[in-house]
Amino acid sequence: MYKAFVRGLSDLQAMAAQVHTKARTPVYGKGQTVNRFPVPDDKVPWSVAFPEYKPTYFEDAKLKKASYADPDILNNKAAPALKFNGTDAGELNRVSHEGRYSLDPDGLPLNPRGRTGIRGRGCLGRWGPNHAADPIVTRWKRDPKTGAKVVDPASGRPVLQFVSILRGDVKEWAIPGGMVDCGEEVSATLKREFGEEALDSTMADAAGKAALAAKVEAAFNHGVDLYKGYVDDPRNTDNAWMETVAVNFHDEDGDGLAMFQLHAGDDAIGVCWKDISRDLKLYASHHQFVEKAVQLRGAHW
Ligand code: RP5
């Protein structure tokens, strides 16, 4: 089990209170031409009246055939009931890290962070929370000649690096996270996604796969939980949203994780050790998650 990292409740509360912005980007999804109904900041909370609100209905056509997706419970009234705020048979977790979520008059889950301008699932497979896991793998930046930690001259703090992937869908740098499969432990998702996206384990033969899995297994023993909750993801809608568990795996001495041969795989089209600073532009809420690793390690920001 991971050691809990508690930086003080006020920190998490400040984050929780943030109004989502990427979940309100004017045009929805990659290569789509779906416009979100504009939602001003002050109209985001469901508790604030917004009688003019007419969200655009959108569900990606691919969801109809996707084996991982829920049935269309809005348009198919004969679809089996889903166990919202609970766990479905087959161990599908529909509980939110954010607490109990409400359902609208049609029985659709309501985004706990408020309006997004899109009704329906968009391109997310699950109604309600879509659970993911994000491994934040870090090491210190070192001088290639001396091996000494590189210190930022302005902050006087050592520079932390993390394994970042370039997402093939939106071409943005991100943590190599991914969806938790039905019945899967988060700890297994963290290892699997890192292996697939940052080490390209899917392309290895059986022996290579086993060797990579063993390496990741050993290196991912001591993680520190950084965050659990809502992700401000551009795919979020009023009725489907991303949540994650972000865990830091740190190589203090630079002789373990730091030595992994990185190869982009699966949905990633690039991978590298990225210097961390406040100027990074990252996918979804990943900037905030990486900042938490910086605070934990006392690094430059
Ligand atoms: C983000 O989407 C999560 O933080 C995670 O990194 C990612 C999971 O989605 P896929 O990469 O599987 O599309 O919200």
Question: The CATH number of the domain where 180 resides is what?
Answer: 3.90.79.10
Quick one: angle between helices 206-219 and 186-198, nearest 10?
120
Residue 14 lies in a domain: no
User: In this predicted structure, what is the pLDDT of residue 16?
Assistant: 47
Count of domains for the chain: 1
Amino acid at 238: D
User: In this predicted structure, what is the pLDDT of residue 201?
Assistant: 67
Q: Is 131 helix (H, G, I), strand (E, B) or coil?
A: strand
pLDDT digits (tens, 9 = 90+) for 173-204: 999 999 999 889 999 999 988 888 888 766 67
Do 133 and 178 meet the contact criterion of CB atoms below 8 Å apart? yes
Residue 91 lies in a domain: no
Task: Give, for ligand 1, the residue of 113, 134, 166, 171 to mutate: max count of ligand atoms closer than 8 Å to Cβ.
Answer: 134
User: In this predicted structure, what is the pLDDT of residue 180?
Assistant: 95
Structural domain for 188, as ranges: 131-297
Residue 245 lies in a domain: yes
User: In this predicted structure, what is the pLDDT of residue 297?
Assistant: 97
Closest CA to 73 of 127, 140, 131: 127
Residue 182 lies in a domain: yes
Residue 137 lies in a domain: yes
Any atom of ligand 1 within 6 Å of the Cβ of 122: no
Closest CA to 99 of 120, 142, 128: 128
Any atom of ligand 1 within 6 Å of the Cβ of 175: yes
Residue 88 lies in a domain: no
Which ligand 1 atom minimizes the distance to the CA of 233?
A: 14
Both structure tokens of 141:
């930046």
Both structure tokens of 68:
């991982």
Look at the block and give the residue holding tokens 């400040």: 14
User: In this predicted structure, what is the pLDDT of residue 24?
Assistant: 97
Q: Length of the chain in residues, anyone?
A: 301
Could you say which DSSP state residue 26 is in? S
Residue 194 lies in a domain: yes
Residue 123 lies in a domain: no
User: In this predicted structure, what is the pLDDT of residue 243?
Assistant: 98
CB-neighbour burial class of residue 157 (10 A; exposed 0-12, middle 13-18, buried 19+): middle
Any atom of ligand 1 within 6 Å of the Cβ of 132: yes
Query: Which regions of the chain are under pLDDT 70?
Result: 1-17, 32, 201-203
The radius of gyration of the chain from alpha carbons, rounded to an integer in Å, stands at 20
User: In this predicted structure, what is the pLDDT of residue 132?
Assistant: 97
User: In this predicted structure, what is the pLDDT of residue 247?
Assistant: 96
User: In this predicted structure, what is the pLDDT of residue 14?
Assistant: 53
